[in-house]
Amino acid sequence: MENQDKIICSELFQKQRKVEVVLYPAVLAWKEIEKSSKRSSGTSESEHSQTVKVCEIVAVHKTEDEADAQARSHPKKINQPSQQYPYAFTVSYVRRTRQHLWCCADVTFHCADQQICEQWIQVANEQLSLLTNRPKNLLVYINPYGGKRRGERIYEQKVAPVFRRAGIFTDVIVTERANHARDHLKTEANLDDYDGVVCVGGDGMFSEILHGLVTRIQTDHGVDQNQPDAELVPCSLRIGIIPAGSTDCICFATQGTNDPVTSALHIVVGDSQPMDVCSVHHNGVFLKYSVSLLGYGFYGDVLTDSERNRWLGPARYDLSGFKTFLSHNYYGGTVSFLPADDNVGHPRDKLQCRSGCRICQHKHSSKDEHDEASEEKEKAAEDSDRGWSVIHGKFIAINSASMSCACPRSPKGLSPFAHLADGTTDLILVRKCSRLDFFRHLLRHTNNDDQFDHWFVEVHRVRKFRFQPGHPDLAPLEDASEHPESPDLSPISSLQETYDDRTAESSWNCDGEILHHTAIQVSVQCQLIRLFARGIEEQQDAEVAV
């Protein structure tokens, strides 16, 4: 740091103390100059030096407070130190508080000379303007009915002030109905006006934004989403997530916390986290995209039941989880999958996806280098059934986790070592077992034990998979939606013993939305979108040494 050129250096005043403030090309540092005689002898000067990375400065503003204004109008009356320094500027910056939690802190520097003060503001802002990854214009969608219905308040009270401080322009749309945001993005929004889209809501609301944005980009580029093997065009706009839903697993798994201010700050500093997107097709017709959980059986039934109790807010999942657990349904079906290459690791390898993850980066560079010949070869292998594994059975749950799916309910998630951007999804098969066994499996989502270490659980890292419902001993069933006369399979009816495990079908929970088909083909689209996030940081960043 000593060798780096100082851009500007001044002696200023901060809270009654004289400080030397230095702006280096990447770091702002300040430390007390005059040693107080009262200070205990062991304390060295450097312990009082503080640093902030320029890339984590939110804004540098002229400070207008009453004391300063007074000092300027009555220069003779002043005797307090800060009033001898009537000009001031405030630096707002990211401060890490508890793990993964960020807040916006302010430090104000006073000085006697107006010119110096203005020079500081100008030079600091010039440095900030060099950070070209920061968004200037954002399109914000708020779901007023997500989670505890606090979306609008959360945005106005916690997020908007941070955006204002950072000088970001926003267009805000409070949705008036389900799919309002999706449809607006699909057809109306003028995407050229924005650097990003912000989603205030839960995983369901994120799903709307994802569909609106991805579909719009494909339409604009003439890509047919109905082709399961179409090469989709990645989105240039990043998506920011302000958590205001019930589970908020996409926010939690990409940031390590569900906190609106932390999310706002990741947006302001212009973070970028690529993310895989699964495309889901039924008989060659596009159904949905998914970024977190595709769950059949247990999580499908929980979601179906919970929709009836939406008035309960986030607690509806506890009630439905309990009911679904008691009904203990299992479903016949055939799962086929195309395993991932070995170089992306294994769901039980204990390598967590963290900020700057090597596995996700490696995947990205190898994708760029992919030559056409090997791609052709791959396509041919995928089209035939070569390389595919097939598993028939009765399952309590079939889960595909494209990311860890960590959330406050399960801080390590459904697949703790899944990666955000490696082009794969972890396929977890939970076979028919006793209630007690399934309970033990569920419980391990909340403690340190390995939830895959059970005789009835297997997990595979895959690039594609297919599911066909139906009892393995019977001829494969057609899709449930084509059989409206099929018996009512709700958990309650199964408790009443009308449940027939040979014809029973569940539904797919696709990022918190129910799919209307059960026979599906899923394919992972590597790094199709980017979020204003950086993945979960390994530990608190140590202070930068100056």
Ligand X SMILES: Nc1ncnc2c1ncn2[C@@H]1O[C@H](COP(=O)(O)OP(=O)(O)O)[C@@H](O)[C@H]1O
Ligand Y SMILES: CCCCCCCCCCCCC/C=C/[C@@H](O)[C@H](COP(=O)(O)O)NC(C)=O
Residues annotated catalytic, as ranges = 203
Nearest approach, Cβ of 49 to ligand X (angstroms)?
A: 44
Give pairs for 104-107: CB < 8 Å, separation 24+: 104/58, 104/162, 104/165, 104/261, 104/265, 107/14, 107/30, 107/50
Nearest approach, Cβ of 306 to ligand Y (angstroms)?
A: 7
What are the DSSP E strand ranges found in 128-190? 137-142, 169-174
**Tokens of residue 14, six digits:** 């901060």
Q: Could you tell me which residues come within 8 angstroms of residue 438 by beta carbon, excluding any fewer than 6 positions away?
A: 325, 328, 396, 430
**62 in helix, strand or coil?**
strand
Q: Does 530 bind Ca ion (CB under 5 A)?
A: no
**Tokens of residue 200, six digits:** 């205030």
Nearest to 300 by CA among 269, 345, 331, 260: 331
**Tokens of residue 164, six digits:** 């204002």
Name the segment binding ligand Y (CB under 6 A); options: 149-157, 184-192, 405-413, 514-522: 405-413
**Tokens of residue 497, six digits:** 């013993």
Nearest approach, Cβ of 145 to ligand X (angstroms)?
A: 5
**Tokens of residue 54, six digits:** 């320029």
**Tokens of residue 277, six digits:** 């997107």
- Residue number with CB closer to ligand X (180 or 346): 180
Name the segment binding ligand X (CB under 6 A); options: 154-162, 201-209, 224-232, 469-477: 201-209
- Residue number with CB closer to ligand Y (265 or 407): 407
Q: Does 247 bind ligand Y (CB under 6 A)?
A: yes
Q: Does 276 bind Ca ion (CB under 5 A)?
A: yes
Count residues binding ligand Y (CB under 6 A): 26
**Tokens of residue 364, six digits:** 């990205």
Q: Does 215 bind ligand X (CB under 6 A)?
A: no
| CB neighbours of residue 257 within 10 Å | 18
Using CB under 6 A as the binding rule, the residues of this chain from 491 to 530 that contact ligand Y are 509, 511-512
- Cα torsion 495, 496, 502, 504 to 10°: value is -70
Instruction: Estimate the crossing angle of helix 316-327 against helix 435-443, to 10 degrees.
Output: 150
The conformation of residue 155, written as its DSSP 8-state character, comes to I
Nearest to 491 by CA among 306, 224, 247, 256: 306
Using CB under 6 A as the binding rule, the residues of this chain from 221 to 260 that contact ligand X are 245-247
Using CB under 6 A as the binding rule, the residues of this chain from 140 to 159 that contact ligand X are 143-147
Nearest approach, Cβ of 321 to ligand X (angstroms)?
A: 15
Nearest approach, Cβ of 422 to Ca ion (angstroms)?
A: 5
Nearest to 474 by CA among 442, 502, 433, 444: 502
- Helix, strand, coil percentages, rounded to 5, for the chain: 30, 30, 40
Nearest approach, Cβ of 251 to ligand X (angstroms)?
A: 11
Closest residue to ligand X, judged by C-beta, is 202
Q: Which partner, ligand Y, ligand X, Ca ion, none, binds residue 177 by CB below 5 to 8 Å per kind?
A: ligand X
Q: Could you tell me which residues come within 8 angstroms of residue 66 by beta carbon, excluding any fewer than 6 positions away?
A: none
Q: Does 405 bind ligand X (CB under 6 A)?
A: no
Binding mask 440-479 for ligand X (x = CB under 6 A): ----------------------------------------
Q: Which partner, ligand X, Ca ion, ligand Y, none, binds residue 256 by CB below 5 to 8 Å per kind?
A: none
Binding mask 99-138 for ligand X (x = CB under 6 A): ----------------------------------------
Nearest approach, Cβ of 498 to ligand X (angstroms)?
A: 30
State the Cα–Cα distance between residues 373 and 230, nearest whole angstrom. Answer: 17
Q: Could you tell me which residues come within 8 angstroms of residue 378 by beta carbon, excluding any fewer than 6 positions away?
A: none
Q: Which partner, ligand X, ligand Y, Ca ion, none, binds residue 208 by CB below 5 to 8 Å per kind?
A: ligand X
- Residue number with CB closer to Ca ion (273 or 451): 273
Nearest approach, Cβ of 55 to ligand Y (angstroms)?
A: 31
Nearest approach, Cβ of 217 to ligand X (angstroms)?
A: 20
Q: Is the dihedral angle over the CA atoms 247, 250, 251, 254 positive or is it negative?
A: positive
- Residue number with CB closer to Ca ion (398 or 405): 405
- Residue number with CB closer to ligand Y (82 or 509): 509
Using CB under 6 A as the binding rule, the residues of this chain from 37 to 76 that contact ligand X are none
- Residue number with CB closer to ligand Y (57 or 210): 210
Q: Does 443 bind ligand Y (CB under 6 A)?
A: yes
Helix or strand (DSSP H, E) at 233: none
Q: Could you tell me which residues come within 8 angstroms of residue 475 by beta carbon, excluding any fewer than 6 positions away?
A: none
- Residue number with CB closer to ligand Y (199 or 405): 405
Q: How far is CA 43 from the centre of its chain?
A: 42
State the Cα–Cα distance between residues 149 and 164, nearest whole angstrom. Answer: 24
The residues of the shown chain that bind ligand Y, judged by CB under 6 A, are 202-204, 245-249, 292-293, 299, 302-303, 317, 405, 407, 409-410, 414, 442-443, 445-446, 509, 511-512
The residues of the shown chain that bind ligand X, judged by CB under 6 A, are 143-147, 175-180, 201-205, 208, 245-247, 512
The residues of the shown chain that bind Ca ion, judged by CB under 5 A, are 276, 402, 419, 422
